Amino acid sequence: MYRHTTTILTDEVLSPKDAAERYKIEADVIMTATILGFTASRFAVGHPVEFAVDPTPAPNEDPEDRLAELREACDRINGALHHYRFGGEARAVFAPDWHKGALITGAVGSSARPFAARHAVESEATASILRELASVTGATSIGYQGRGAYTGFVDDPVGKTPSIQSTMRFTVPDRHPELYGERWLPRHFAYRTEPDAPARDNSNTPWGLIGGRTEIDGMVDQPAGAGDVVGYTHGMIQAIYTCVQRGPWCTPFEIAAGSETTKMASCFPCTLLMYAAGFPPSAIHLGRGESWVPFYELPPGVETATGKHSPRIDAAINTVNTRWRIECGQHLDLGIRILSQGEMANVAKSHRPAVTLLAGYLARRANDVFVASGLILDAVTVHESETARVTRTLLGEDVD
């Protein structure tokens, strides 16, 4: 994606080539700092940290090569932590094998447990039925079944009202800063779906669409207009909001739906919200969380498309999002301290100016609870795997 206005951390207007390089480096540093802060925060209280890769072979690819790349990233994470390591070690592992009905669990209160012990078993017969429905492909499938498709559902043994939610795409609100913060939004932008393809811009396509797509079969899609910013809310995140709203006896699950996605692990943006909400995932991957967004509570006086507005749902969303925003700030602040150790000795020279910019950006907005989560949301619109970001930032190669 090529933006033609400000970068994430400055107000400079750059050429497309310079902008692409700058956004990439800034996103690298934002996400690497967040990963370091998250990892150190887990180690500080004796919790394990594992990052997983998909063991399912891709065409012309050896899964062991993917595991080796992740091990290299984990080695760099462990090396950069220094005394913030607290005796812990980030480990690279294979994610659980995918099979029809395989689940990711958001296991309440399980952050101190080994990852393999975090899987829950749904207690409702209805939940089993929903899991089966979520794994159906073809004309009878439920919701979006394409690349990156994850369908969440809730096991509710008390209310006995399980629910199912597939990945959805929504417009990011750019008003009511008291609810959402003043996220950086581009006044003008352009991007290409392929390097040699014609550029799209904000006169014809909403910004933030994965691959520039305006329609995706089977995905619930809130209408977006020219100049709007859109994002994708995964099924697990929707299930967590439902659990918080309904009761502490509920458990959120997620299934990799369809045949294009077989990673049985939560993306890192999902992971941040899951830990903040008290539902740590059964596995974490450092792949892509492209254009990830949470749900947003409705502003006062706004009704839904069905005309129904639930203050209780909004309260659950606000509660989870507030914890998530606070922890994003804590992880980023700690990550900057980690990156700054030894005069940034563990940071690639190409990325050191961005560390300084990030530290200054946050320091000037120290009382803004929205700023850190906004930076993370902007960083994941620069589509890249978190493994690659870490490898480039920590004792890594300069950006090509």
At residue 338, the pLDDT reads 97
With H, G, I as helix, E, B as strand and everything else as coil, classify residue 168: strand
Q: How far apart are CA 244 and CA 314, in angstroms?
A: 11
Stretches where the chain sits below pLDDT 70 are 1-6, 16, 99-101, 124-149, 184-202, 211-221, 223, 225-227, 257-262, 299-309, 396-400
Assigned token pair, 300: 């006062």
At residue 229, the pLDDT reads 78
Q: Is residue 11 part of a domain?
A: no
Name the residue range of residue 316's domain. 16-393
Q: Is residue 64 part of a domain?
A: yes
CB 291 within 8 A of CB 208: yes
CB within 8 Å of 315: residues ≥ 6 apart = 245, 297
Number of domains in the chain: 1
At residue 74, the pLDDT reads 97
CB neighbours of residue 245 within 10 Å: 18
CB within 8 Å of 298: residues ≥ 6 apart = 304, 309, 314
Segment (H or E) for 237: helix 235-246
Q: Is residue 10 part of a domain?
A: no
Residues in the chain, overall count: 400
Q: Is residue 400 part of a domain?
A: no
Strand partners, 53: 94
CB 194 within 8 A of CB 340: no
Q: Is residue 220 part of a domain?
A: yes
Q: Is residue 86 part of a domain?
A: yes
Q: Is residue 267 part of a domain?
A: yes
Q: Is residue 47 part of a domain?
A: yes
| 105-152 pLDDT per residue, tens | 898 889 999 999 998 877 766 666 666 665 565 544 555 556 656 788
With H, G, I as helix, E, B as strand and everything else as coil, classify residue 313: helix
At residue 200, the pLDDT reads 67
Q: How many helices (H) and strands (E) does the chain have?
A: 11, 11
Q: How far apart are CA 183 and CA 162, in angstroms?
A: 34
Describe the strand order of the beta sheet including 150-155 as a list of residue ranges: 104-105, 251-256, 150-155, 163-166
Strand partners, 207: 229
Q: What is the dihedral of CA 44, 47, 52, 55, to 10 degrees?
A: 160
At residue 4, the pLDDT reads 46
